[in-house]
Structure 1
Amino acid sequence: MDIDYTLIYGVIASVVSAVIIAAVTRRLLGARVGWPRAIIVSGVALFAFGPVGLWVARQTGLVRGETITVGTAEVLGLFLLGFCWALVACTAVLVILEALVPTGTFSSPLQWPRAIRDAARRGARYAHLSWIVASSGLSGVLRQGPRSERFDEALVRMFERAGVSFVKLGQLLSTRQDVVPPSTARALSRLQSEAEPAPTADILGVLAQDWGKDPDTVLARFDAQPLGAASIAQVHGAQLQSGLEVVLKVQRPVAQASVRVDGDIIMRFARTSERRFGWARELGLAALAGGLVKVMKEELDYVVEAGYTRTAARLLAPSPDLVVPQVYPELSSRRVLVMSRLSGVPVERGAERLSPERRTELARTLLQATLSGVLVDGFFHADLHPGNLLLLDDDRLGLLDFGAVGVIDQETRTLLAALLAAIVDDDNVAAATALGMAFDLPADVDRRVLRRELGRIMTLVHTSGEVGATLFTELFGLLRAHHIAVPGDVAGAFRTLASVEETLKVLDPETSLLKGARAVMPALIKRLTEPEQLGRKLGAESLVALSVARRLPERGEVISNALARGEFSLRTHPLADLGERRWLRSVLDDAVSGFFAAVLAVIAVILAMTPGGGSLTPELGLNQIAAAVLGLVAVVLALRVLVRVFARRSSNGD
């Protein structure tokens, strides 16, 4: 069989030429345009260049019949000009494509099957959720938002009907009283996570997939009836082949896909709501939804929860009355968590059997461990309600479910300790100072009003003798009223302290968070200020101070010499930030480029319409050729300005 090498060489030359043209076009744009679209557009332009160029040559008299009417030098120059216009045409097409469908909008072909599957699921889910939103009455009150009397109930109905992910989202949102109104938080707190158990075969299938073996080779017994079934996972009792009693927390098979699809829908809805509704912008709905979706996805990874559980066991080791289940990492995975089984009953049912002294002792131990986790260690159980506590058979407390924990940095812990100590001592001046240092206060906050309102809340707390949910509800309302943002983990710390109050009342009705904090805070403050801990902090700070001090003599000498010579001056930089200078420079560059593009375009139009100046052919004058050159430069400048403006808007999130 004869091989047509001419065709092969032609294809290779075309591909190489298309790649070169694509590279030049990307360079002209000054932006990272996707290679596939750049090569496709350049290839189309390359194949169209011959026919289009010949048509233009005939129209301008450069070619008559089969004869070229101008010299070789003129042909080469005009060919180069035409080729440049082809490049500009490619650039214009790419700019339009980037504006309509930015690079990165679509995944690589290898990811298309999954993307198509997810898109189909998302489309079906959109239709289902649209019906749920309409039937629950939420669509009629979205514009007013929480200001509508019917909003809270409609929101709860929608979350209840929408399934696994939305129930979990509602539960998380109910704990963020720092950003949602109290009425909305109370309504969402009624959402129940209990659900119909998944079929036993499905649960065993998850175990087999994650263990890579038949569950019967690992388990001597598996209790088909779950101990509890929630929206995301369910818990089963079991016995290992070694005879150890364990509990298995197994994720529902559909949980991962459900949260992935619903999480994307939630984010799209939040961004759309911010654009359309004022209440959503005030709430910062997109950022709030992003944080909650992130938490939902993190809670789906039981490897993380296993690590949290082991950390909690290590930190609580000095408190023998508090027990954390042992994790078996060799049997745990992202969807399966295997832990030792704690034998006991819910603390509400078992507290009556304890002596008053033991109940008081356990309440104090629990409070001290909770405050120590929040204020000293910076790691704490963020969902410490009575349902997550067991009274064990040996009269100790078992802590369950470390899927939600809080982590707080050292500086914030110190400030929270100061805030809580001030609240306990009824010192609103110190409390307001600690509050202002712990959180970023807006520039327009009236600190005197803030201090007075905080003092009023503290007075009511001390009058009632309780710090629990009332204090934190009032405190969150105060922060919302002054538009003070609270980090999620700090809000989790407040929530934990509020929920532990409820548990303290179950253990010992005579105690309270305020009373207990008064008893344990001196010991915690002593731990925070003990010489060894302060010495470690001062060590790092001393090294920094030493580096600064060593530079002071040199800088002092420079200043004193300048003063002696009368050359000392102060200069201010309104645009001291490098990012601001770059932004201003880019705006000025674009303005200058746009101005020159407009000037060159006007000159090109005038030249194109002006006869004379000599001619190459009766149809083509030198003025028209000059107009084509100037127009080419004008279009390139204009396209670059457009691309830079789009890029700047995209980076600003507009």
Structure 2
Amino acid sequence: MFKNTISNLARIRQVVEVLVRYGFEDVVTNTALRRLITQKRRLSWQHAERAVFETSRWERIRMVIEELGPTFIKLAQAMSNRPDLLPEALIDEFQKLQSDVPPFDVRVARTIIERELGRPITEVFSEFEEKPLGSASIGQVHKAKLLTGEDVVVKVQRPDVQEKVRTDLSLLHELVRLTAGFLRNHGLSNPQDIVDAFERSMMKELDYTSEARSMDQFRKLYENYETFYIPKPYRELSSAKILVIEFVSGCKITDKAQLLEWKLSPEKVAETGMDIYLTQIFEFGIFHADPHPGNVLVRPDGTLVLIDFGMVGKLTKQQKYAFAGVFIGMARQDARSMALNFRRLALTADIPDMRTFEADLNDLIEDFTTLDVKEMSMSDLADRLQVIIYDYKLQVPGAVFLILRALVILEGIGKVLHPRFNTFEFVRPYGARIIAEQYSTENILSEAQYTGTQLLALIQTLPADVRQIMRKISRGDLRLKVELSGYQALMRTADQLVSRTIIALIAVAFLLFSGLSLLGRYSPDMRYLHGIPVITWWSLGITGFLFLILLILGTKKRKD
């Protein structure tokens, strides 16, 4: 830990400077970060100009993130999908963040490709466009042509990006360690878990083979769909740092003029897109988590194409049933059913008052069931659901928020193409399918088999467990471990008080000895200084030293 702190010291100081610049002295002064700031610098804060306070606190948090760079931007973008953890105003600011960066030199890109392929680029590609199609914080994309004639795109990871991301992730862990108490006091109960989850996500994003596997998985699921296509990844030409994918031409799904020119029905395209996405959620339980218009293309024959599988969400079967149950309960105007399915969906759901929870859900149902079809909005519903999740501190799977966000994006696309587009009407038949699947004979037998297996395992291990407990009781070896949490700070304070009391008592003892030593009768060998025995001077010196220690400890406590 000490080694990591030293290696990250310069970067941590930079973070502190940025926090101070945007008016977050409280984050620094109320955490261990204050130790990194000199007394002179602390005084200068008190006289600094505060024009930055003309903006809101949430805007200033976004400014801090923007200045700290790509890794922090990606963390904030990931957190913008977690309204169960952050207030709505902060999420709105995080959604404004852009991670686009200038492309790097094409010569560097060629070098990386050749190193990963283990051969010259001319032995693989007959053409390679120098100008990238796009660039981002992790890598950039070039169009190329294989020697066999196929048009492809090549994603190339930025040089040294893995080392930079790992350094910033190490820094994030260190910052969380230094500010954990402050973050918890401000409502972020599990900051370390958030950074751990983000680290896993980033490590996966840095490995292009993961994206290739996702594409192959989707291709297999949709191999019989004539209206939907996923580009082919060339796994044999790809690695963790480069990804070669089939190039697919088409227009953005929102390019209504081009669709009409191709004599395609925009309404039919919108319906097909929503149908494909809902099958991903409610049938397969795996879905493309970023269906913005740039990632959804339409071919001249009307086939829809999804690109960029860097962000994929997954739901387990039970999560899929619970998520569908929330919408089914709403359609049936059954607040209790919605509440029960929310509890099934949540990873942890300690709801103190279920009646109040059901009442809030009932208000939501009443608000939306009285709306006209034209007034109903997936965006409004998602916002209301996310507020309820945040207010009741429900820890639901992150995939749920990715789905809500994706449905809002798809609704926006649908309304561009389809004047009567209604997301709820598309979702309704899938609810009926989910109910049929959940209560099908096959699923009931599967659940019964799983429950039976668990019960059998319990029965098999129970006698041995009981025998072991009884044996420990008979030997007097059974111990109960009780762990008290939340008393660490109190124990540290008590320990400091005891230490200071002991030092003070020793100092008083030496002071008393100094006074008594003046009354003593000593041998002629005793040395005197200014008429006072040397032993008295020694005793007074020790007393003064001990009182100096107490003074230093008291001053340090006031600064802390």
With normalisation by structure 1, the TM-score equals: 0.62
Query: How big is the shift at 1:229?
Result: 0.9
Alpha-carbon distance in structure 2 between the residues aligned to 1:392 and 1:184:
38
1:395 & 1:338 partners in 2: Cα distance? 25
Aligned partner of 2:398 in structure 1 is: 488
Correspondences of 1:88-237 after superposition (within 5 Å):
120=7, 122-139=8-25, 150-237=56-143
Task: Decide whether the 8 Å contact of 1:234 with 1:249 is kept in 2.
Answer: yes
Change (3 A) 1:119 1:522: same
1-structure distance, mates of 2:110, 2:461: 67
Given the superposition, is the C-alpha separation of residues 339 and 402 from structure 1 closer, same or farther in structure 2, using an over 3 Å criterion? same
Q: 1:455 to 1:528 in 2, by over 3 A?
A: same
The answer for the alignment partner of 1:386 in structure 2 is 293
Instruction: Find the aligned partners of 2:266 and 2:327 in 1 and give their Cα distance.
Output: 24
* TM-score, normalised relative to structure 2: 0.72
Name the residue aligned to 1:361: 268
Equivalent of 1:263 in 169, 172, 176 = 169
Q: Please give the alpha-carbon distance, in whole angstroms, between the structure 2 residues aligned to 1:189 and 1:391.
A: 27
- Partner Cα distance (1:216, 1:130) in 2: 48
Q: Letter of the 2:302 partner, please give it.
A: D
Letter in 2 for 1:583: K
Indicate if the aligned counterparts of 2:153 and 2:244 stay in contact, CA closer than 8 A.
yes
For residue 497 of structure 1, what is the aligned residue in structure 2?
407
**For residue 380 of structure 2, what is the aligned residue in structure 1?**
470
Give 3-state SS (helix, strand or coil) of 2:265's partner.
helix
SS at match of 1:583: coil
The count of corresponding residues between Structure 1 and Structure 2 is 447
Aligned residue for 1:439?
346
- Which residue of structure 2 aligns with residue 404 of structure 1? 311
Which amino acid is the alignment partner of residue 494 of structure 1? L
Following superposition, the deviation at residue 435 of structure 1 comes to: 1.0
What per-residue deviation string (whole Å, max 9, x for no partner) do you get for residues 235-277 of structure 1? 1111111110001111111321121011111222223222234
Query: Does the aligned pair in 2 maintain the 1:351–1:391 contact within 8 Å?
Result: no
Q: Could you say if the C-alpha distance between residues 583 and 467 of structure 1 is closer, same or farther in structure 2, counting changes exceeding 3 Å? A: farther
Give the equivalent residue in structure 2 for 1:342: 248
CA root-mean-square deviation: 3.4
Q: Is the 8 A contact 2:230 2:306 kept in 1?
A: yes
Q: Distance in 2 between matches of 1:312 and 1:294?
A: 22
**5+ long unaligned stretches in structure 2:** 32-52, 464-472, 484-560
1:207–1:215 contact (8 Å) kept in structure 2: yes
CA contact (8 A) 1:415 1:437 kept: yes
* Cα distance change of structure 1 residues 220 and 402 upon mapping to structure 2, 3 Å threshold: same
C-alpha distance in structure 1 between counterparts of 2:150 and 2:196, whole Å: 41
Deviation at 1:334, TM superposition (A): 0.8
2:147: which partner in 1?
241
Q: Tell me which residue corresponds to 1:583.
A: 481
Alignment of 1:600-615 (within 5 A): none
Query: Match for 1:447: what amino acid?
Result: M
CA contact (8 A) 1:344 1:392 kept: yes
Change (3 A) 1:225 1:493: same
**Separation in 2 of the partners of 1:226 and 1:551?**
61
Deviation at 1:186, TM superposition (A): 0.8
Unaligned runs of 5+ in 1: 1-100, 107-114, 555-574, 586-654
Separation in structure 2 between the aligned mates of residue 551 and residue 314 of structure 1, nearest angstrom:
41
**Distance in structure 1 (CA, Å) of the matches to 2:461 and 2:158:** 61
Superposition pairs for residues 265-304 of structure 1, below 5 Å?
Answer: 265-304=171-210
Structure 2 counterpart of 1:360, one-letter code: E
Q: Secondary structure at the match of 1:242?
A: coil
Residue equivalent to 1:414: 321
User: Counterparts of 2:332 and 2:127 in 1: how far apart (Å)?
Assistant: 55
CA distance in structure 1 between the aligned counterparts of 2:207 and 2:253, rounded to whole angstroms = 28
For each residue in 1:367-411, what CA deviation from the matched residue of structure 2 results, as whole angstroms up to 9, or x when unmatched?
233233223322111222222211223222111111111122221
Does structure 1 residue 514 correspond to structure 2 residue 424? Answer: yes
Query: Partners of 1:373 and 1:487 in 2: how far apart?
Result: 17
Amino acid at match of 2:481: W
Aligned residue for 1:197, secondary structure, equals: coil
Alpha-carbon distance in structure 2 between the residues aligned to 1:297 and 1:549? 41
Deviations 1:344-381 (A, max 9, x none): 12212246624998333333333233233223322111
The aligned counterpart of 2:529 is: none
State the distance in 2 between where 1:450 and 1:356 align: 50
SS at match of 1:348: coil
1:480-502 CA distances to partner (integer Å, 9 max, x unpaired)? 11121122223323333333322
Structure 1 residues 178, 385: CA separation in 2 closer, same or farther (over 3 Å shift)?
A: farther
Give the letter aligned to residue 221 of structure 1. Answer: E
Percent identity of equivalent pairs: 25
Task: Work out the CA distance in 1 between the residues paired with 2:196 and 2:368.
Answer: 34
**Which amino acid in structure 2 is aligned with residue 259 of structure 1?**
V
